[in-house]
């Protein structure tokens, strides 16, 4: 569904990603794991169009997105939930969700989609009139994900969704990701919590210093001695 | 829908009441009401850009002045009302041209850039006038005070309508999302560059038309007056005093400022600016959400 080929990108002169290639299969949960500074967020921002591509290409559902503007990518069914959530603190929960459906293709489905999101995240319905900035960290992450889903994406990009969450909250978040895949949305997730991510993912890639150093089924990587030693501390 | 009809009814009543001023009041009353309407029109326009997106323009005098200059250039060859429309088109176009490069920078850089741009245009006009051998132009035979008043009344009503409907539209939601977090807005599919430039152009048209009408009141075109940065500062002050990103803020702010002007100016002209400065400081420190914010909180408390 998403094919990234020999992608290089970064900030200004400094290259962060060095010829990264990966595929996200339709209907899968695909994970990209790695330590701090490996280039995970840079990859997500580049796929969403927030950073320009230096070399290589991005193909989504058969159409070339390498040079497409961020709003074009949303229009074609790609949605990024950015690192740090970036919810709109002064908007109420419902206004945040409505803003998520601002793309022209999402507008007609707004009302139905809002109900779907409230069914998926009942806590948001309880808090619908509350300013987004007053929610707890876990609730804000739920809000950010629901807002990202409001545009009815076929591929959801999650950038470090468990960042800063208490372990129990993070655990329920990973369960939520599985439920989202169950609604027919393909999920591409970038994470530092490697064990929890590999437990829910189908396929995984390991990124180190801007390069893919390992790939395979998530189950295989969980058993891989190198991964266990370097990332799981076993 | 009920909200829209109530708003439009209230607006119609207000416009009708103002329309009576030239019939019932003397030149002094018309002058005060004209002043009030002018600041409402200018600040409503500013709100569409700056209060909604958070890109604070400290150079809105450039559109007021450029509109006045467009009127000067049209004066004598086009009818009054047509010149006003030409002025609005010209300032809207000016904003489209400068908007794209200007809106690439954020925060304090954008503030300084708008201020610098207004000064730049002012001195360009001064130099063009000097090259043309013009040193202050007299504009005789223009419309009378009442006619200017009605034009500015219409412009104030238009600016109120624009702010009201933008604030409640998808476009307005996008502008406010940009203010809350521009990067998040971009990931939701908002074409942020286009939204910002459109808001900039929209916020420039009415001020240009107001400038075009107001220059005829003084019957004299002097770039230093019409591009006066005090105009920009006053707009921002009214917006801060009024508060919010919706229609009521500029109305409260302009009412407050014009009342203060009349009271203080009449009684203590020598300390007028000092008092105004003190009030602004008091509002920024003590009432950051402005009169509108206080009124809303008071209403909510009453249920």
Is residue B189 within 8 Å of A103, Cβ to Cβ? yes
The answer to whether B173 contacts A90, with C-beta atoms less than 8 Å apart, is no
Residue A11, judged by CB atoms within 10 A of its CB (0-12, 13-18, 19+), counts as exposed
| Helix H or strand E segment including A2 | strand A2-11
Select from B167, B181, B189 the residue whose CB has the most chain A CBs within 10 Å, as the one to mutate to test that interface. Answer: B189
CB-based contact B203:B51 (threshold 8 Å): no
HSE, CB side, 13 Å, CA atoms: give it for residue B300: 6
d(CA B185, CA B47): 19
Give the residue on B whose Cα is nearest the Cα of A85.
Answer: B184
CA gap B85, B87 in Å, rounded: 5
Looking at chain B, the number of H-run helices and the number of E-run strands are 16, 2
- Which pLDDT value is given to residue A121? 93
pLDDT of residue A23: 95
Domain boundaries, chain B: 2-228
pLDDT at B174: 96
**pLDDT one digit per residue (tens) for chain B, 303 residues:** 789 999 999 999 999 999 999 999 899 999 999 999 999 999 999 999 999 999 999 999 999 999 999 999 999 899 999 999 999 999 999 999 999 899 999 899 999 999 999 999 999 999 999 999 887 788 888 899 999 999 999 999 999 999 999 999 999 999 999 999 999 999 999 999 999 999 999 999 999 999 999 999 988 899 999 999 999 999 999 999 999 899 999 999 999 999 988 888 778 878 877 887 888 899 889 998 999 999 999 998 887
**Phi and psi, residue A151, nearest 5°:** -85, 10
Cβ A87–B181 below 8 Å, yes or no? yes
Contacts across the A-B interface (CB distance below 8 Å): 66
Closest Cβ opposite residue A102 in set B180, B181, B188: B188
What pLDDT score does A234 carry? 64
Which among A73, A82, A102 has the least Cβ separation from residue B183?
Answer: A82
Cross-chain Cβ contact A80/B187 below 8 Å: yes
**Residues A177/A18, Cβ–Cβ less than 8 Å:** no
Distance from CA of B212 to the nearest CA of A (A): 37
Nearest-Cα distance to chain B for A223, in Å, is 36
The minimal CB distance from B183 to the residues A86, A91, A102 is found for A86
Quick check: A213 and A207 in contact, CB under 8 A? Answer: yes
B203 Cβ partners below 8 Å, 6+ apart? B45, B46, B47, B48, B49, B50, B57, B60, B95
Residues of chain A with pLDDT under 70: 234
Q: Flag if A71 and B174 touch (Cβ within 8 Å).
A: no
Model pTM score = 0.92
CA B10 to chain centre: 21
Are the beta carbons of B209 and B84 closer than 8 angstroms?
A: yes
Contacts of A82 in chain B (CB under 8 A): 183-184, 187
* A81, A88, A106 member nearest B181 (Cβ): A88
**If you ran DSSP here, which 8-state letter would residue B75 be given?**
B
The full set of domains in chain A, from first to last, is 2-230 (3.40.50.300)
Please determine, for the modelled complex, whether the ipTM score is greater than 0.85. yes
Could you identify the residue written with the tokens 């219409």?
B154
Which residues make Cβ contacts (< 8 Å) with residue B65, sequence separation at least 6? B118, B121, B122, B125, B211, B223, B226, B227, B228, B231
Assign B274 to helix, strand or coil.
helix
Would you call A32 exposed, middle or buried from its count of C-beta atoms within 10 A (0-12, 13-18, 19+)? buried
Give dist(CA A174, CA A4) in Å, integer.
25
- C-alpha–C-alpha distance, residues B146 and B19, integer Å: 10
Is B26 in CB contact (< 8 Å) with chain A? no
Tell me if A147 and B185 make a contact (CB, 8 A cut-off): no
Strands A78-81 and A2-11: unpaired
DSSP state string for B126-164:
HHHHHHTT-SSEE-TT---HHHHHHHHHHHHHHHHHHHH
d(Cα B161, Cα B47) in Å, to the nearest integer? 12
| Interacting residues of A86 by C-beta distance below 8 A, sequence separation 6+ | A144, B181, B183, B184, B187
CA distance B212 to B7: 28
Which of B187, B191, B244, B245 should we substitute to test contact with A (largest number of A Cβ atoms within 10 Å)?
B187
């Amino acid at each position: 569904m998403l094919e990234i080929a020999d992608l290089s990108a970064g900030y200004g002169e400094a290259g962060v990603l060095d010829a990264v290639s990966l595929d996200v299969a339709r209907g899968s949960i695909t994970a990209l794991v790695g330590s701090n500074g490996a280039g995970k967020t840079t990859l997500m921002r580049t796929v969403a169009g927030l950073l320009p591509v230096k070399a290589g290409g991005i193909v989504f559902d058969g159409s070339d997105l390498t040079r497409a503007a961020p709003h074009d990518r949303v229009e074609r069914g790609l949605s990024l939930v950015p690192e740090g959530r970036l919810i709109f603190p002064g908007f109420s929960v419902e206004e945040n969700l409505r803003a998520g459906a601002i793309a022209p293709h999402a507008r007609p489905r707004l009302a139905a989609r809002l109900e779907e999101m409230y069914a998926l995240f009942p806590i948001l319905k309880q808090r619908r009139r509350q300013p987004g900035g007053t929610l707890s960290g876990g609730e804000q992450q739920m809000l950010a994900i629901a807002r990202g889903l409001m545009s009815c994406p076929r591929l959801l990009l999650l950038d470090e969704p468990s960042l800063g969450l208490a372990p129990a909250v993070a655990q329920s978040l990973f369960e939520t990701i599985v439920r989202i895949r169950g609604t027919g949305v393909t999920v591409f997730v970038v994470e530092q919590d490697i064990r929890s991510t590999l437990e829910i993912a189908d396929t995984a890639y390991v990124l180190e210093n801007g390069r893919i150093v390992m790939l395979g089924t998530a189950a295989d990587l969980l058993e891989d001695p190198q991964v266990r030693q370097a990332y799981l501390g076993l | 829908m009920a909200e829209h009809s109530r708003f439009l009814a209230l607006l119609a009543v207000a416009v009708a009441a103002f329309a009576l001023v030239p019939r019932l009041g003397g030149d002094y009353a018309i002058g005060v009401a004209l002043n009030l309407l002018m600041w409402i029109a200018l600040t409503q326009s500013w709100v569409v850009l700056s209060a909604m997106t958070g890109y604070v323009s400290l150079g809105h005098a450039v559109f007021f002045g450029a509109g006045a200059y467009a009127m000067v250039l049209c004066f004598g060859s086009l009818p009054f009302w047509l010149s006003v429309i030409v002025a609005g088109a010209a300032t809207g176009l000016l904003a489209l041209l400068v908007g794209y490069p200007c809106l690439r920078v954020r925060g304090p850089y954008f503030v300084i850039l708008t201020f610098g741009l207004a000064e730049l245009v002012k001195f360009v006009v001064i130099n063009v006038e000097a090259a043309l051998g013009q040193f202050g132009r007299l504009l005789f035979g223009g419309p009378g005070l009442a006619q200017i008043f009605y034009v500015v009344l219409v412009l104030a009503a238009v600016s109120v309508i624009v702010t009201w409907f933008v604030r409640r539209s998808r476009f307005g939601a996008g502008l406010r999302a940009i203010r809350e977090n521009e990067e998040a807005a971009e990931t939701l599919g908002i074409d942020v560059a286009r939204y910002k430039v459109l808001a900039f152009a929209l916020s420039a048209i009415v001020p240009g038309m107001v400038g075009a009408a107001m220059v005829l009141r003084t019957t004299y075109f002097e770039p230093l007056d019409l591009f006066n940065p005090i105009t920009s500062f006053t707009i921002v002050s009214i917006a801060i005093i009024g508060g919010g990103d919706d229609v009521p803020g500029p109305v409260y702010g302009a009412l407050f400022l014009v009342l203060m002007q009349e009271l203080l100016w009449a009684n203590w002209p020598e300390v007028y600016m000092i008092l105004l400065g003190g009030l602004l400081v008091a509002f920024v420190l003590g009432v950051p959400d402005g009169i509108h914010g206080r009124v809303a909180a008071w209403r909510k408390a009453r249920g």
